[in-house]
């Protein structure tokens, strides 16, 4: 059996780098794709040091469909875990257009690249902010969504786009993960 290859957009960030370590430990090949706007190149060395495995890295922006397509094809990617995105609720209120462009248009760019490269599996890093004000607690997956800020609305819109893509392409699959506050550190 050949080793599965996974592209991690935003792979040099907090959640992306921790995911890379776990995937490498589970035997997957990982390609990190990041524009380094909220991370630094030293993360790649740390991942390799922790795992004793080589990690490929492509410096690029999620809005660059051409580079994403080349990356997916060149590395023969099987699936994508999509972490790339702006992520501060307060900042999203101050800069909604930047959040919509980066998060929503960036996700459209990724989906276009995936289509061109014939990659049909994605895990999307969403957010519990899609729920908005709680109608009941604890939240569950049946809780109504009603995002109350641009960050949450961008995440919810991407979830809805992925649902539409899955409905239009029966062989396309997507999973959305709605985190609250991810915290922790690797034992290293």
Structure tokens at 108: 């459209």
CA distance 178 to 172: 20
Angle, CA of 185, 62 and 101, to the nearest 5°: 105
CA distance 126 to 113: 20
131 is catalytic: no
Distance of CA 133 to the CA centre of its chain: 24
CA distance 51 to 40: 18
Catalytic entry in 33, 75, 131, 151: 151
Per DSSP, the three-state class of 25 is helix
Just list the catalytic residues.
Answer: 151
């Amino acid at each position: 059996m050949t080793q599965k290859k996974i592209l991690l957009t935003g792979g040099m960030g907090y959640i992306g780098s921790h995911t890379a370590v776990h995937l490498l430990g589970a035997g997957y090949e990982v390609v990190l794709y990041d524009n380094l706007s909220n991370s630094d190149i030293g993360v790649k060395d740390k991942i390799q040091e922790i795992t004793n495995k080589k990690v490929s890295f492509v410096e690029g922006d999620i809005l660059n469909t051409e580079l994403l397509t080349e990356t997916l094809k060149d590395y023969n990617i099987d699936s994508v875990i999509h972490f790339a995105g702006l992520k501060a609720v307060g900042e999203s209120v101050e800069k909604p257009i930047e959040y919509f462009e980066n998060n929503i248009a960036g996700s459209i760019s990724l989906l276009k690249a995936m289509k061109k490269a014939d990659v049909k599996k994605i895990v999307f890093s969403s957010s519990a902010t899609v729920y908005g004000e709680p109608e009941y607690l604890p939240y569950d997956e049946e809780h109504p969504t009603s995002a109350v800020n641009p960050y949450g609305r961008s995440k919810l819109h991407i979830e809805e786009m992925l649902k539409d893509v899955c409905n239009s392409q029966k062989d396309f699959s997507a999973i959305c993960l709605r985190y609250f506050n991810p915290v922790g550190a690797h034992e290293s």
